[in-house]
């Protein structure tokens, strides 16, 4: 697998694990990391051997957001006060939030520690979030003079509703793992030593299902956020027709009739 800047990429048993790897900086994001993260996500999405993606962080933090030291040094995003960004045409379609949103493979976030700012947006962009009991979600944007710029302003109201999202965002709240669970921002909270094995268990359960069907389900759920019920029903039917022709569909029927676990091959 290609080398990535400040990222680790591992693949085993159909599960690709992408680890933000700047533990000395709580995995704060640099410009090279943005490029690498987009590439790692796209590589995993296009790899037919990958059925599930896990995104996590090294050390005691998930992601502390964009690296403030870069901004102060004049080398980070927005370091010029936004002047160049305001007039430049840059590729947001290739940015991690957009790549993450359009990835058809299921993405699990193993929140090993604090996710602040950009890190919170990154976590919210995943499909399923499993948090260590020591993790936190910090919506500190308004406390830094910015807004949730990397998907959070779109994702947060859809995940927890307008009123709750407004309070979290406007107040710049920092949520404990338990508070995030109660709001519905994370799916599970486990003790730190259980985070990796439990996440692997969930990922393995998904990976054991028919991968083409899982990916089609995610794709239709994503498109359904922006279309009418009637349009989505039609799109789902058109997705169903090719699935009926797959070997995985035939294997699913056979395994049910033979009362045994299915063995899906993604074809």
Residue 225: which CATH number?
1.10.12
Q: Are 132 and 177 in contact (CB under 8 A)?
A: yes
80 within domain boundaries:
yes
264 within domain boundaries:
no
Domain that residue 225 falls in: 211-257
What does each of the 267 residues of the chain score in pLDDT, given as a tens digit?
A: 568 889 999 999 999 999 999 999 999 999 999 999 999 999 999 999 999 999 999 999 999 998 766 665 555 555 554 444 444 455 688 899 999 999 999 999 999 999 999 999 999 999 999 999 999 999 999 998 988 888 999 999 999 999 999 999 999 999 999 999 999 999 999 999 999 999 999 999 999 999 999 999 999 999 999 999 999 999 999 999 999 999 999 999 999 999 999 999 999
Q: What is the CA radius of gyration of the chain?
A: 19
What pLDDT shows up at residue 85?
Answer: 46
Q: Are 58 and 19 in contact (CB under 8 A)?
A: yes
The pTM of the full predicted model, rounded to 2 decimals, is 0.90
Helix, strand, coil percentages (3-state) for the chain, rounded to 5, are 50, 15, 35
Shared-domain flag, residues 242 and 177: no
Structural domains in the chain (count): 2
What pLDDT shows up at residue 75?
Answer: 55
Shared-domain flag, residues 119 and 244: no
DSSP H stretches of helix in the chain: 31-46, 68-73, 83-87, 96-102, 118-124, 152-160, 162-171, 177-183, 195-207, 211-224, 229-244, 247-257
What pLDDT shows up at residue 81?
Answer: 47
266 within domain boundaries:
no
What pLDDT shows up at residue 66?
Answer: 85
What pLDDT shows up at residue 72?
Answer: 56
Rounded Cα distance, 218 and 104, in Å: 6
**C-alpha distances in Å from residue 190, one per residue of 119, 178, 181:** 20, 10, 11
Shared-domain flag, residues 56 and 74: yes
What pLDDT shows up at residue 87?
Answer: 47
Shared-domain flag, residues 151 and 190: yes
Shared-domain flag, residues 139 and 221: no
Shared-domain flag, residues 202 and 229: no
Rounded Cα distance, 74 and 257, in Å: 64
Shared-domain flag, residues 85 and 197: yes
Q: Are 19 and 8 in contact (CB under 8 A)?
A: yes
2 within domain boundaries:
no
Shared-domain flag, residues 101 and 81: yes
Report the side by side order of strands in the sheet with 52-57: 7-12, 15-20, 52-57, 107-111, 128-132, 188-190
What pLDDT shows up at residue 149?
Answer: 84
The CATH number covering residue 69 comes to 3.90.226.10
Q: What is the pLDDT of residues 102-157, one digit of tens each?
A: 999 999 999 999 999 999 999 999 999 999 999 999 999 999 898 888 899 999 99
């Amino acid at each position: 697998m290609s080398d990535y800047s400040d990222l680790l990429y591992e693949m085993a048993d159909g599960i690709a694990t992408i680890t933000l790897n700047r533990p000395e900086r709580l995995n704060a994001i640099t410009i090279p990391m943005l490029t690498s993260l987009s590439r790692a996500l796209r590589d995993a999405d296009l790899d037919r051997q990958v059925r599930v993606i896990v995104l996590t962080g090294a050390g005691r933090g998930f992601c502390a957001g964009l690296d403030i030291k870069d901004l102060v040094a004049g080398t980070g995003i927005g370091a010029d006060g936004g002047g160049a960004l305001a007039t430049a045409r840059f590729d947001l379609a290739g940015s991690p939030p957009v790549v993450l949103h359009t990835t058809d493979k299921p993405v699990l976030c193993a929140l090993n520690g604090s996710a602040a700012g950009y890190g919170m947006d990154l976590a919210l962009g995943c499909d399923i979030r499993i948090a260590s009991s020591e993790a936190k979600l910090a919506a500190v944007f308004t406390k830094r003079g910015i807004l949730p710029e990397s998907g959070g302003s779109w994702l947060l109201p859809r995940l927890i509703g307008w009123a709750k999202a407004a309070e979290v965002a406007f107040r710049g709240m920092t949520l404990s793992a338990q508070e995030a669970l109660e709001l519905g921002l994370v799916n599970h909270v486990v003790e730190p030593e259980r985070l990796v094995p439990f996440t692997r268990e969930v990922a393995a359960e998904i990976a054991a299902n028919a991968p083409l069907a899982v990916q089609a389900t995610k794709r239709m759920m994503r498109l359904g956020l922006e279309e009418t019920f009637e349009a989505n029903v039609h799109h789902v039917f058109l997705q169903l027709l090719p699935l009926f022709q797959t070997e995985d569909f035939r294997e699913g029927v056979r395994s049910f009739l033979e009362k045994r676990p299915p063995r899906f091959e993604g074809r």
